[in-house]
Amino acid sequence: MKQIQIFDTTLRDGEQSPGCSMNIKEKIEMARQLEALGVNVIEAGFAAASQGDFNAVRAVAKELQKTRITSLSRALTKDIDSTWEAIRYAKYPRIHLFIATSDIHMEYKLKKTRAEVLEQTAEMVRYAKKYCEDIEFSAEDATRSDPDFLAQVCEVAIAEGATVLNIPDTVGYTSPEEYGNLFRFLRGSVKGAANVQFSSHCHDDLGLAVANALAAIKAGAEQVECTINGIGERAGNTALEEIVMNLKTRSDYYGADTSVATTQIYKASRLLSTITGVKVQPNKAIVGENAFAHESGIHQHGMLANKQTYEIMSPESVGLTTNKMVLGKHSGRHAFNDRIKELGYNVDLDMINTLFKRFKDLADKKKTVSDRDIEALVRSILAQEIPKSFALERYVINSGNTITPTSSIALTGVDGARSEKVAIGFGPVDASFNAINKIVGRAVKLEEYSIGAVTEGRDAQGEVSVKITSEGATAKGYGLSTDVIEASILAYINAINNLIYETKREEQ
């Protein structure tokens, strides 16, 4: 059984998706889950893109001990230098170079001839090799490149020490048959092809990213580059969960498998959605809410007789479970601590104490507390770990359909000073945000606002995600409460604290 290497680019290509940016803490948290998932390579960012990206790549490289860490780099010495400085602390570092090879990219973007691209490929792979033994080379827009020229570029990269050749479908242009044939051609005609791994990187512009990646595997690819939930630029990337479960479910056909711990898939999907505030559609394969739901009477009858009539994989195989441990106000610390561990969280004593207190407060408001409630509590505590420039003391709302909504907000600063302001708005949430803006004393624009229920029922917790901008800087915030107004206020304050924290980091 051939083992396919899973190269996860959620933190790089995935983060480039609009609305999916992450701060350093969030990237580290996501990277830990990716390591628990068992991916082989994590692309932690684009180190040369900005100081923030550099810091995040370096932080992930220092944090993880089992997984290979890489950073994308243009075929330029300054990018390669920056990339190496960011990943040099990784236990298993890889430099990932790329240069465009299609005629349209070479003429209009690079403004280089084929000969110049060949020369730059040779020079930059050679330059990177002095830093790192493991070098991945990507031919950007490979599927729209002349195959013979692409083969020349690949030969040059191999000759200078590349260990992995990535053949990206950068704009989601190709079809499965074409993509598979391209891999067969390169593997059969490129000198030294037997000494390197071939990798697939597909985009979903025509909805074929997963199909194309699977075709590449059938044609000999040994690595697939993908993202959790398929997030990424434009229509997204190859979805990790779909590739992994295709290989797991149809290993008889593909003759391939991965080292991914599939029971960690759903948790990784949920964590990413919580961090970014971007939910997956209900009918999303593998991780959508309806992926294992059966409403049709015919389907239900078959499921009751034998689950395999309509389920080709079990929900348990991706980390879902039909067993629910009911926790309530009478549950003790021991049961709560055990549940935290079972959900996969490793938290210190101080956080356990804080979580248990929040759990008890919630249990007084709700009859039962579900796993999703607990996960949301953990997420809300983690979101508040950024140093607090402002904290909520109290709020009073005056709203109705015959009066102008008014909000009075009182915040405390780091020095303990208290400030209270009153503002009006189109509704209670808008009025509250306006009052907070008065207190913080800066122009803040709300870019995105998302609200959802953690569980079903009238007593469900509301979770709110916001994205704000101020003076060119962007930040996200997260809030949780059984009162959606309070959740909104907490999310907005959290975003402002994140904004201030990230701005200070950039200035240092």
pLDDT at position 208, please?
A: 98
pLDDT at position 368, please?
A: 75
223-226 and 197-202 beta bridge pairing:
parallel
- Residue, of 360 and 301, whose pLDDT is higher: 360
Contact between residue 471 and residue 369 where contact means Cβ atoms under 8 Å apart: no
- Collapsing DSSP to helix, strand or coil, 244 comes out as helix
Q: 11-30 pLDDT, tens per residue?
A: 999 988 877 888 888 899 99
To the nearest whole percent, how much of the chain has pLDDT over 90? 66
CA-CA distance, 192 to 310, in Å (whole number)?
46
Q: 64-97 pLDDT, tens per residue?
A: 999 999 999 999 999 999 999 999 999 999 999 9
pLDDT at position 300, please?
A: 41
pLDDT range class, residue 295, cuts 50, 70, 90: very low
The amino acid occupying position 329 is: K
Residue 433 tokens read as 């945000």
Q: 38-64 pLDDT, tens per residue?
A: 999 999 999 999 998 999 999 999 999
Contact between residue 39 and residue 7 where contact means Cβ atoms under 8 Å apart: yes
Task: Provide the whole-model pTM.
Answer: 0.80
